[in-house]
Structure 1
Amino acid sequence: MLADVRVPLADPAPRPERADAARNRARVLAAAERLFAEHGATRVSMEDVARSAGVGKGTLYRRYPDRAALAVALIDRHERELQQRLLSGPPPLGPGASPAERLDAFYAAMLDLVDRHLHLALAAETGAARFRTGAYAFWRAHLLVLLRAARVPDPHGALAESLLAPLAGEFYAHLREGGLTKPQVLAALHELSHRVMHQPQ
């Protein structure tokens, strides 16, 4: 039942960690973010990250088994901020606007996130891994809430999943490589939003 939908944060708060572990984690993530941005995630090895962070490979692999895990940790920072804005920020992204306005705002905010951090999205969301992240579950639950509020039937959640599909990093990269600009992609998403929510342009 959609009435039972809850919108959880992507993941529970991390457990407290030792000061030296926290320092190592911060160095690893800073090194990975810099290297991924400079060279692209697929061209950076785990050894490159360990060397740049000044940590041993064992230290790196214990926390992050591969590049995808590093990318997930990095993009998680940005996703958590957006999640908080959806839950308690000002409308139209946060509560207080109509479902159609909130879906438009969600698409705009998500496209900004994907556009700014496409190199991370491409590394983190490889294949079916995208659907196993806590963030994906959060976005799906949010869309189910909006559809329910707009009285748009989606008994099996397939419509919510379909609305999320255009936000995949690989799909966005495909559109941009095909010559579409970010405003053109956003305009198409808003057209989709209006049609689903039965709102006139």
Structure 2
Amino acid sequence: MSGELPVLGGPPAERADAAENRRRILAAAAALIASRGADALSMDEVARAAGVGVGTVYRRFRDRAGLVYAVVDEREREFQQGFLHGPPPLGPGPDIPPLDRLRAFLHALADRTEAQSELLEMAEMDSPDARFVGGWYALYQRHLASLLERIRPEADTGYLADALLAPFAANLFRYQRHTRGMDLDRVKAGLDDLVTGLGGP
């Protein structure tokens, strides 16, 4: 079932001039983040650097959270391709136990979150519901629920999928990594413990 889910997050079809504006805005935002850090990003500065009006930036991306999520979009599409269509155990395979796929997904999501946690945290702080409205969360939730239905068909798989995704809220993830000093291996070991509990009697 999960292999049939569509990859989300790509830009919609658009006119050539609109596509060029989008490319310039995203390139300017990425350059500003790289040179000054995520906290320095502002819609006005991005517009100046891209050579477009600030209204164009707001029309395309709504707010800074939307712009930040667009900047991380390419990495997100690669991640989605991996778990929907890539090689097992992250991707589908006829003989891969669903518990192994679940563990591989959570490990890969930890790596994906680690790579851009600063940007993800900034987007979530700017817009508290940003994590849920871009389509990514719903795709993750459906993918996990489909695996959980094979592991624990009697369980509330929708709730369990949300529970497994909760540790990837960027503020919690960064708190564990940078305030509590947990290394990524420890985070993954904790996720493994959660998965092991799901496979019990």
Name the residue aligned to 2:182: 180
Q: Tell me how far 1:38 sits from its aligned partner.
A: 3.6
Q: Tell me how far 1:102 sits from its aligned partner.
A: 0.7
Name the residue aligned to 2:154: 153
SS of 1:125's equivalent? helix
Kindly indicate whether residue 22 of structure 2 is the aligned counterpart of residue 25 of structure 1.
yes
CA distance in 2, matches of 1:146, 1:156: 9
> Contact 2:145 / 2:161 at 8 angstroms: preserved in 1?
yes
What aligned pairs does 1:158-173 form with structure 2 within 5 A after superposition? 158-173=159-174
| Match 1:73 to one of 70, 92, 98 | 70
- Larger RCO: Structure 1 or Structure 2 (Cα < 8 Å, ≥ 6 residues apart)? 1
Where structure 2 has 5 or more consecutive residues not aligned to the other structure, the ranges are none
Name the residue aligned to 2:133: 132
Letter of the 1:198 counterpart: G
Letter of the 1:117 counterpart: Q
Taking every aligned residue pair, what percent have the same amino acid on both sides? 44
> Contact 1:37 / 1:119 at 8 angstroms: preserved in 2?
no
Name the residue aligned to 1:193: 195
Cα pair distance change 1:37/1:172, threshold 3 Å: farther
Q: Tell me how far 1:27 sits from its aligned partner.
A: 1.1
CA distance in 2, matches of 1:173, 1:105: 21
Where structure 1 has 5 or more consecutive residues not aligned to the other structure, the ranges are none
CA RMSD of aligned residues (A): 2.3
Name the residue aligned to 1:45: 42
Name the residue aligned to 1:112: 111
Q: Tell me how far 1:43 sits from its aligned partner.
A: 2.5
Aligned residues: 196
Structure 1 length normalisation: TM-score?
Answer: 0.87
Name the residue aligned to 1:89: 86
